[in-house]
Chains A and B, each alone.
Chain A
Amino acid sequence: MKLRSILADIGKSLATAVWFMVLLFPLMVMKVNVARGVAQIQFRWNLLPLVGVGAFVLSYAWRIALEWNERRGANKSEGMSSRIRAAGAAYLARPAVRTSSLLVLLAFVIAFPFLFGMYHTNVMITAFIYVILGLGLNIVVGLGGLLNLGYAAFFGVGAYTYGLIWKYIGPSFVAAGMDPGWLFWISLPLAGIIATLFGILLSLPVLRLRGDYLAIITLAFGEIFRMVMQNSGDLTGGATGISLIPRPWFFGQKLPPTKAATYIYFIAIVLVIITIFVVRRIEDSRVGRALEAMREDEVACEAMGIDLVKNKLITFALGAFWAGIAGVLMAAQTTYINPDSFTLWESIIILMAVVIGGTGSIPGVIGGAILLKLLPEYFRALAQYRMLIYGIAMILVIIFKPDGLIPRKRKQYTFERKEATK
């Protein structure tokens, strides 16, 4: 029985290998040399077995991984690794351990800019911006279950709010003898509000849409925003964008770049903490649960008297708000914005951070955002394969950990006998 299934696997992998050899033949084996205007085909036969063996090995490994995954799903509660994991979780759940590890983490986060210098600090700020974005999008996708592919537009609304305020109010602000750094602190809440308004604006046409249609409309919204920013050159600086955006005010001092990065790093941390706090409150509130109910079943929601229109407005508005905040932070960090920072790819990467990390799970989304931002920074050599690696990671996560790397933990799954006998 066992032998037969192994033989079957080998057979299928062989077929895959042959198929790949045929498929890749023109690509890998045939090489066209153009010498003095004459094209010559060179056959590199030695590459053919390489393709075959490679495809065979990969295909076989893939099959084994799939089988392992199935078996793992079948006996989830048993097995050594899950017992170790349960013990680990229990250990971490102990209050003393929890507090001390949180303190260690906090100490590390605070010490980070002083230990690692400006480059790494800036990388971390970007990661934090993505954490805020991820948590915001998580409200829309994770709680509300509404796919939003235009999320980067709200990020852009935030950044452009700050940029435009700087461009139009900045000069008179400076002329009046005020520190332009104040504009950051004015823009921060304002960008949140304006992004929220845009969120509501977008939610109006999509009230009746779900799934694919919603994805397409939000995608279009994102692109329209970018196009408008790109093509209204007089107003927004067009493709060149807006530059020399001031850094946040710091007691009237002009900070050198290193110190400024450290300062923004701490602002980012505070904003991340506020975001986590608020998002958790939303999740535990009745409104949050109504959003989840909407994700589960719209008709049932209506029968319960849950107002879907209001719910969708709330979902988009809340999601957009955090993107607006993140946008201002981004503009302040880079001091330069242009429409290229808010493309569809940006939306997709934020969405990936949510899905890979664990849709609906706050620690998951934080982990996903940091992972997706840090890895490409520290593996620059692989930069050209970035999208390929993201794609493969996505497929692997969807197959092997469909709930994400750190899945959402529901409060309890258990069935309580005790209550019944009482």
Chain B
Amino acid sequence: MASVKLTKVKKIYDNNVVAVHDFDLEIKDKEFVVFVGPSGCGKSTTLRMVAGLEDISEGTVEIDGVVVNDLQPKDRNIAMVFQNYALYPHMTVYDNIAFSLRLKKMPEDQIYERVTNAAEILGITQYLMRKPRALSGGQRQRVAIGRAMVRESKVFLMDEPLSNLDAKLRNQMRAEIILLRQKLDTTFIYVTHDQTEAMTLGDRIVIMKDGYIMQVGTPTEVFEMPANLFVAEFIGAPKMNIIKTRLLHENGKYYVTPFGVKIEVDGEKGRELAKRQLGTRDILLGVRPEHIVLDRKGGGIPCTLEVNEMMGSELHLHVYTEDETRLIVRIPTIDLETSERESLAQGKKLSITFEGKVMHFFDPETEKNLLCD
């Protein structure tokens, strides 16, 4: 168990491409931190720099207070799980898990104890004598986790461990990782491009783009108060609707005017705007699909239904407004009468609205959240 501290960490490749810019982060002991972002954002590179598999161009990485920049991976006291499992195909599951312990010249009886313990926790005892090719994807990933577990390292690194699994197995393994984390009680750094994994697993999430940290926060923080437009759109599925509009400050009250409809910004968000003394201005207004409701009274934003996706427990309605802006509306199926649900066909005219408390306000130029410090 250990803390990990990255200070001004930078990765510059030989072709002068900068993959990671001045990465600053302190990960506390036993914390589960998830690096998330789209392909090429530098999340795996950062993890690999912590692991010692990539050279650090600038800055320092500390594990438990010791700068490890020049240490080999084996001397960093870390364990790592790879996306493609990276199991040694010519060895049995037992030998795969025991490999690192044998290199340490640990007595065979101790190796046996550790391997069988790990196998029991992961439910792979019956496969110990099999070769990896005789295992399914999920079983292979368990072996990879087992191989990392037996090292009893201070830091557990996972590089997109669930990406190669099918959706169902991914959900199952995600739950197992949560349980595993409780059992191991160590520091985790987990890399993924899947925001659902990040939200469900992480104590804190580090959202990255083009080598820069966009935001660091708890799942609730990044969801409820995204620091910028990128985070707002990246976290949450379907992604947040972004509408170009104006923020009006009239008679001490705040309003937004999406598509010519004036909606008051009430509640906490209104008070926050007032506290910051923001005046009338152009903004990018963010509203999550689940916060938009069908306006049955009329007076809402008029729009036309383009696609109706039935997701089971909810409907995803893709609509376009009079100025051709595309929006997504997420409606729980249970909120709709059967007849109303069936009437939601392509071309149907709808009226939608949303409340002030669910709005997010972004500066059109800097794309920063106007309510974030």
Q: Tell whether A pairs with B.
A: no
